[in-house]
Each structure stands twice: as structure tokens, then as C-alpha cells.
Structure 1
Amino acid sequence: MSEYYQKLREKVGNELIFMPSVAGIVRNKAGDVLLQNKGNGEKWSLPAGAIELGEAPAEAVVREVWEETGLLVVPKKLLGVFGEKDYRYQYPNGHQVEYNIFMFDCEIQSGELNPIDNETAELRYFSPDLMPELALPYPKHLFSLEGNAELYFQWDEQWLTRIFK
């Protein structure tokens, strides 16, 4: 946890906070998606994490993927933007967050699967059709190479009728 979030948590405790974040879809040559298991009972996840102060989302995804996987990637495309109550999460320590996530399609430039930080217990590639349930409810079609042609905006179109009646 960065110094910024440590100081914030000192003030708000476990209360729900917004957390601008990134997630990276990293594929091997076969098109399988790299997932992370933290080994603490949480579900599998994409390499992901918080955007730090002074950091652009694309920079954050490069840093997070590096820290959690040992791979140097380049973000090639913004795949989706996510948030709201479906992207709330409670960590095992009780900290509650509501993520606002920028999801990037990333290309491996170099490196080997060898996490730099202590947040990763296991890294494994999964076929998009055989992925385990993830900690966050990303749309499944974004994991296939064919399913991510357009930028995905997560929203409820019925929201318009509720707000603008």
C-alpha cells in the first residue's frame, strides 16, 4: 500500500473509499490470459492495482504488471472503464474500496514470470473459455481476442430513464 493510501486509511479506517485503479490483460502467444492468485483466499484476478498520485493510468498498468508478474508490458489499447457498486471489494483486512478501473490490453515486451512484490502467490495463463471466477465481474467477452474490438463502457442504459424522466 502506498504512503498516500496508508495516510488515507489512518483517517478513514476501513470505510468505503473510491480507488482509481488499472487492470491489465496480458496474453501469451497462444492468446491465454495471465491471472494472479494472491494465496490469501481471494479469487483469481488480473494484474491490477491503484493509480498513484502523479501517475497516468497507462503508467500505472505498466508498474502494476511489473510488480505483480515480473513482466514489462506496453499498454496497446484501453478495453474498458468500470465502476459503481459491482466493483466494490472488501479486502481480508476489512478495508473497503469501490474501484474505478481502466482496463488495458497489454503486450509483453520482456521479462519472466517472477513477481517483484509479495502480493502474488501464483501466476497462471488460462484460456479465455476456461478462466476461473474472478474477484471482479468483468464482462467475459473482453478476454477473447475477438471480443474487445470496441471500448467497453460499463453502465446501465435504464439509468437514463430513471434520471431523465
Structure 2
Amino acid sequence: MVNLIVHGLIVKEGKVLLIKRSRIKRGKPNFNAERWDIPGGTVEMNEELCKAVVREVKEETNCTAVPGNILYDMYQYDQRKERGFLTLIYQMDIKVNNFLRWLICRV
């Protein structure tokens, strides 16, 4: 079994938008709890990838996003869970929300 994961990389004026992952998700301990990450999550059954990344960014930032190109893809297999994870990172554009904080990106 393979889980599809999508993330949205949002950069504005050289700064990257990050979110802090919650401790609990759906009543269970969250993976990488309380770490900083770019918005994203699991693609739902029969959901289009672009719609999934827009939904995840909206859920986690309350901002409307427009997906661009896929910037990165990665496959990992977790032997403990006996499943694979395919992660896609999309370039995203959003309408700015004053409650967001932007961090300087040095690449």
C-alpha cells in the first residue's frame, strides 16, 4: 500500500511559510509533533492531487492557494507499517493573511 502526501511550498519575497505541527491529529499522536513544516497532508481517496494540496494549505493556513509545478517528489518505505509514502511538493501562490509569519529562505 502507498500513501500519497502533498505539501505546498509557499515563498514570498525570499521568505518561506512554515506551520507548527499539532501534537494530536484525529485523536492520535501526530507524526513529527510540534516541528515546523510546510503545509500539507494526506491525499484522500479519489481526490485529485492539485485539489488535495489546495485543501491542505487551506486547512492549515486558512489561505486560498493556487498550485504551480511539482518541485520535488520522494518515495519512502516504512517497514514497520509495511507501506510506502509518496510525497509531492508543489510550488504554491497564496493570498496573504496578516496572521502568517514569513521566514528568510537561504538556499
Question: For the superposition of Structure 1 and Structure 2, which TM-score range results when normalised by the shorter chain?
Answer: 0.7 to 0.9
Indicate yes or no: 2:4 matched with 1:20.
yes
Where do 5+ consecutive residues of structure 2 fail to align?
24-32
Query: What is the aligned length?
Result: 97
Q: Percent identity?
A: 28
* TM-score normalised according to structure 2 size: 0.74
How many angstroms apart in 2 are the aligned matches of 1:124 and 1:31? 13
Matches within 5 A, 1:86-165: 98-108=84-94, 110=95, 112=97, 124-129=101-106, 144=107
How far off its partner does 1:42 sit? 3.2
Deviation, 1:43, is 1.8
Of Structure 1 and Structure 2, the greater strand share is in: 2
- 1:59-74 equivalences in 2 (<5 Å): 59-74=51-66
- Deviation per CA, 1:83-117: give whole Å up to 9, x if none: 125xx5xxxxxx89753111100011x36266xxx
Q: TM-score, length-normalised on structure 1? A: 0.50
Match of 1:35 in 2: 18
Higher relative contact order (CA 8 A, sep 6+): 2
The residue type paired with residue 125 of structure 1 is W
Q: Please, what is the CA RMSD of the aligned residues?
A: 2.6
State the 4+ residue runs in structure 1 displaced beyond 2 angstroms.
Answer: 38-42, 95-99, 110-114
Matched, 1:55 2:38: no
Q: For 1:72 and 1:99, how far apart are their aligned partners in 2?
A: 26
Aligned to 1:78, the other structure's residue is in SS state: strand
